[in-house]
Amino acid sequence: MRGHHTSPSLEQEAIVRSYDPVIMRRLLGFARPYKLAIVLALLALAVSTAGELVLPVMLQRAVDEHLLATHKRFDLKRSAELGRQEVDDRYTPGALESLLDANEIPYRRLENAIYVLESNAQRLSAAEQSRLREYGILDEHAYHVFPLTEVTREAAGDELIAESADTGAMPVDALSRLPEDRLRQLRAQDLDGLARVSTVFLGVLLLVLVFAFVQTYFTAYVGQAVMKDLRLRLFDHTVHQALRFLDHNPVGKIVTRLTNDVETINELFTQVLVNLIKDVAIMIGVVITLYLLNPRLATVTVLTLPPVIVLTLVFRLRAREAFRRVRHAISNVNAFLSEHISGMAIVQIFVKEERTARQFNRRNTDLLNANLGEMYVFATFRPLIDLLATTSIAVVLYFGARFYLGGVVTLGVLIAFLNLVRMFYRPVMDIAEKFNLLQSAMAGGERVFSVLDENRRIPDTGERRLTQPVRGEIVFENVSFQYVPGEPVLRGLSFRVNPGETVAIVGFTGAGKTTIANLLARLWDIDDGRILLDGIDIRQLALSELRSAVQPIQQDVFLFDDSVAENIRLGLPIDDQQVVEAARTAQADSFIRRLPHGYYTPLNEGATAISTGQRQLVAFARVLAHNPPVLIMDEATANIDTETELLIQQALKTVLAGRTALVIAHRISTIKHADRILVLTHGELVEEGTHHELLQRGGLYSTLYKFQYEGLAE
């Protein structure tokens, strides 16, 4: 093995955390380019939140100022008598009016009394109201105050008890004794007020709807844009890394980072952050609104909230542990499935289906129990929150009813309190549920940044250019390399390949043959020594320059999910005729034309619809289309049948003409006509010469030849 890979389950368990400010700052950094969208989302959030808080207040106003519209009566005659008796000079008529003005309470003076809307009268302290009742200044009865016109005067009749030039007053009790038509005339102003409030109420609802849509759209836009940028950053980071990066980061891990982990970050922006701000704003706004409506009842209501805070903190701890167990169990299941589905052939060959099923059942049961444990936490928390919400409402009803009967609150205020209490508890549940999303986003963010922070990129700082045309001279000077520290693969390797020469490299498995191909294309960087191409150190060349000149045909062919033509072209700006010419030279044209749609036959990932040998021919055509001056054939015919190999052998003379080629192979038949053969063992060059020269020496090459053709060994 070239490296040590961390177990997926252990890795998952190690990085699951709660809130991390460093990760949050880095995630917010990706949102910085979308500041305008964020500002618009926050403005829309502020408007929609304010609208939601205004609605209960509007309902209270509709009830107190228009639906009930009862007034309190302050008897100025009684006030004057108390003043003459010097009982309490704070409530003389002038002082009483000053008291109302100081509390910003609007009032109307009709004859020897002041009439104040009941909801406004409650701005006076409870002590003030109690003394005013004790002195007989504040009347216990309720009164209806209305605009005085000929119509309303006639409608009120004998019930009119006080009037001014444009205002009249009558007992509220008298309204129930009036016919419907007269009642409508007296309450015409209230009916118009209700119509206005209803219109404004509907307008605020529409405003909340519109701005909630704007907020949702822009938060989703920011979340999707951040996801796009993160995916691009991760993909760009990955494709520019050396193969050492993939050696330490399996493909499945990187794909998970690009998909699942990035999606959790999207949820952070679209569901957690903005909703968390909204939830906190609503909760704070509700408390403020309660105190603005009635401080006394608000204090009683707030005293019911500490149990909610304690329960939420306990839930947070329990939910965190439950979340950790679920993620650990999911990781175990995923790791088991990935391993055993990939190795399904081994499972079946050794008849281990039942044993594997039992092992999977244990892991699956652990996942079931972990999920049930998480659901148990939520199933306990939700009913308890509902219980506390109901308890708060019951407390508000009890004390609100007592205050209402005592004249401390109005019916509209009591209704508004009930709505606001319900509004307060809705975010409590939301915040608790968003905690798991926040924790998941933190874990996803840490995993994403762990990949981004791992830099194994091949330095691409070269500025020198190859002369045109490229001659293709290759020189290895004392090259040493190791995949794993302390385990050298190449040891001071030196050799030269002349321009246009075909040189084969052979040796036992592990001799370093494929490593030479990887180092020449700078898929890995050497530890010591130099590799020269046309006399230039390849580290001084731009990677694009080097890899355009040196291209391999690998043993394990990878074809993309695209047409045959596009797999040959691979982004190269060449026409169809040039694609066909490359395929014809690679002896692939005949089988491609027999495919259902010829060159435009779609290939799935891995191209399983065509044979291994045919995939090799397509890969051969791909390199020919790109026409590199240096060609590396890394076991390129290892998986090809004899008939296909003969086709390639026929094409090789044309393909290799005027081109430098390194041919890495186990099969002697594919390289015995090479200009020279290099024999490696343990990363060192031990023999060099033509096929016949090496056979005559009777060394390692001769031994390899005998293994294949004389049956001395497998």
Phi, then psi, of 88 in degrees rounded to 5: -160, 105
The dihedral of CA 315, 320, 323, 328: what is its sign? negative
Look at residue 334 and tell me whether its pLDDT is greater than 90: no
Phi/psi for 359 (5° steps) reads: -65, -40
Pairwise CA distance, residues 129 & 137, whole Å = 9
Q: pLDDT grade, residue 644 (50/70/90)? A: low
Burial-class residue 611 by CB neighbours within 10 Å (0-12, 13-18, 19+).
Answer: middle
Supply the DSSP string of 170-181, one letter for each residue.
Answer: EEHHHHTTS-HH
**pLDDT value, residue 9:** 39
For the cut 90, the answer to whether the pLDDT of residue 319 exceeds it is no
Reported in sequence order, the residue ranges of 510-614 that DSSP labels E, i.e. its strands, are: 528-533, 536-537, 550-553
**Residues 555-593: b if buried by 16+ CB within 10 A, e if exposed:** bebebeebbbbbbbbeeeebeeebbbbbbebbbbbebbe
* Amino acid (one-letter) located at 534: D
Q: What is the pLDDT of residue 706?
A: 81
Evaluate if residue 7 carries a pLDDT over 60: no
Residues paired with residue 190 on neighbouring β-strands, in sequence order: none
The yes-or-no verdict on residue 86 having pLDDT over 80 is: no
Return the ∠ at Cα 528 (arms to 526 and 533), rounded to 5°.
60
The answer to whether 655 and 582 are in contact (CB under 8 A) is no
pLDDT in the model for residue 651: 62
Closest to 672 (Cα-Cα) out of 655, 690, 657: 690
Q: Which of 209, 214, 313, 276 is nearest to 427 (CA)?
A: 276
Q: What is the CA radius of gyration of the chain?
A: 43
Residue 245 binned pLDDT confidence (cut-offs 50, 70, 90): confident
Q: What is the CATH number of domain 474-709?
A: 3.40.50.300
Strand partners of residue 531? 476
Tokens (6 digits) for 387: 């219980």
Number of H helices, E strands in the chain: 29, 16
pLDDT for the residue numbered 140: 83
Report, as an integer, the average pLDDT of 384-402.
90
* Residues 181-196, mean pLDDT to the nearest whole number: 93
In this predicted structure, the answer to whether residue 75 has a pLDDT above a threshold of 90 is: yes
Residues found in the chain? 714
- Please give the pLDDT value at position 8: 41
pLDDT, residue 497, reads 94
Would you say 384 and 293 are in contact if contact means Cβ atoms under 8 Å apart?
A: no
pLDDT at residue 186, as a whole number: 93
Band the pLDDT of 687: cuts 50, 70, 90: very high
pLDDT at 10: 37
- Phi then psi for 268, rounded to 5 degrees? -60, -45
Alpha-carbon span 560 to 606, nearest angstrom: 7
SS3 annotation, 5-51: CCCHHHHHHHHCCCCCHHHHHHHHHHHHHHHHHHHHHHHHHHHHHHH
- What is the arithmetic mean of pLDDT over 432-450? 79
Q: Does an H or E element contain 686, and which?
A: strand 684-689
At 179 the pLDDT is 92
Residue 450 confidence (pLDDT): 84
Residue with more model confidence, 14 or 227: 227
Of the listed ranges 69-83, 354-368, 655-669, the one predicted with least confidence: 655-669
Average pLDDT over residues 428-456: 80
- Residue 197 pLDDT > 70, yes or no? yes
Which range has the top average pLDDT, 262-276, 470-484, 668-682? Answer: 470-484
What are the pLDDT digits (tens) for 459-493?
Answer: 888 888 888 888 899 999 999 999 888 889 999 99
pLDDT of residue 83: 79
Q: Is the pLDDT of residue 498 over 90?
A: yes
Nearest Cα to Cα of residue 688 among 492, 400, 493: 493
Give the model's confidence band at 5: pLDDT under 50 very low, under 70 low, under 90 confident, else very high.
very low
Distance between CA atoms of 170 and 152, rounded to whole angstroms?
A: 11
Task: Reduce the secondary structure of 373-416 to three states and give it as a string.
Answer: HHHHHHHHHHHHHHHHHHHHHHHHHHHHHHHHHCCCCCHHHHHH
Q: Nearest 10 degrees: CA dihedral of 603, 604, 610, 616?
A: 80
Is the pLDDT reported for residue 96 higher than 50? yes
- pLDDT value for 2: 43
Share of the chain above pLDDT 90, in %: 36
> What CA–CA distance (Å, rounded) separates 46 from 692?
86
* Residue 665, Cβ density class (10 Å: 0-12 exposed, 13-18 middle, ≥19 buried): buried
* Cα-based distances in Å from 345 to 252, 322, 341, 352, 356: 20, 36, 8, 10, 13
Q: Is the pLDDT of residue 640 over 80?
A: no
User: What gap in Å lies between CA 567 and CA 560, rounded to an integer?
Assistant: 6
| Cα 149-153-157 angle, rounded to 5 deg | 175
Res. 218 pLDDT band, cuts 50 70 90: very high
pLDDT at 710: 61
pLDDT digits (tens, 9 = 90+) for 513-527: 889 988 998 988 899
The CA distance from 163 to 152, in Å, is 12
632 - beta bridge partners?
552, 662
- The residue ranking higher by pLDDT, 148 or 332, is 148
- C-alpha 547/C-alpha 533 separation (Å) is 11
Are the CB atoms for 442 and 18 separated by under 8 Å? yes
The rounded percent of the chain whose pLDDT value lies above 70 is 92
Identity of the residue numbered 42: L
Is a pLDDT exceeding 70 seen at residue 4? no
Instruction: Calculate mean pLDDT across residues 585-594.
Output: 87
How far apart (Å, rounded) are the C-alpha atoms in residues 322 and 377?
Answer: 8
The DSSP bridge pattern shows strands 502-507 and 660-664 to be parallel
pLDDT band at residue 541 under the 50/70/90 scheme:
very high
**CA dihedral over 437, 442, 447, 451, signed as positive or negative:** positive
pTM value > 0.85? no
Which range of 76-90, 206-220, 419-433, 699-713 scores highest in mean pLDDT? It is 206-220
215: exposed, middle or buried (Cβ count in 10 Å: 0-12, 13-18, 19+): buried
Query: Who has greater pLDDT, 540 or 16?
Result: 540
pLDDT band at 496 (very low <50, low <70, confident <90, very high): very high
Token pair belonging to 566: 């596009």
Ramachandran quadrant class, 627 (left: phi over 0; alpha: psi -120 to 50; beta: rest): left
Residue 286 · residue 389 · CB < 8 Å: no
Question: pLDDT by residue (tens digit) across 130-159?
Answer: 889 888 999 888 999 999 999 999 999 999
Cβ atoms 116, 146 nearer than 8 A: no
Determine the average pLDDT of the residues in 240-244: 78
3-state secondary structure of 550: strand
pLDDT-based confidence at residue 638 (cuts at 50, 70, 90): low
39 HSE (CA, 13 A, CB side) = 5
CA angle 468, 473, 479 (to 5 degrees): 130
Residue 711 has pLDDT above 70, yes or no: no
Q: Determine if residue 535 is left, alpha or beta; phi over 0 gives left, psi from -120 to 50 gives alpha, anything else beta.
A: left
CA–CA dist 261, 273 (Å, integer) = 17
pLDDT band at 266 (very low <50, low <70, confident <90, very high): confident
CATH 3.40.50.20 fits 8-33+224-452, yes or no: no
- Angle in degrees, CA 654, 657, 660, rounded to 5: 130
**What integer best gives the mean pLDDT of the chain?**
85
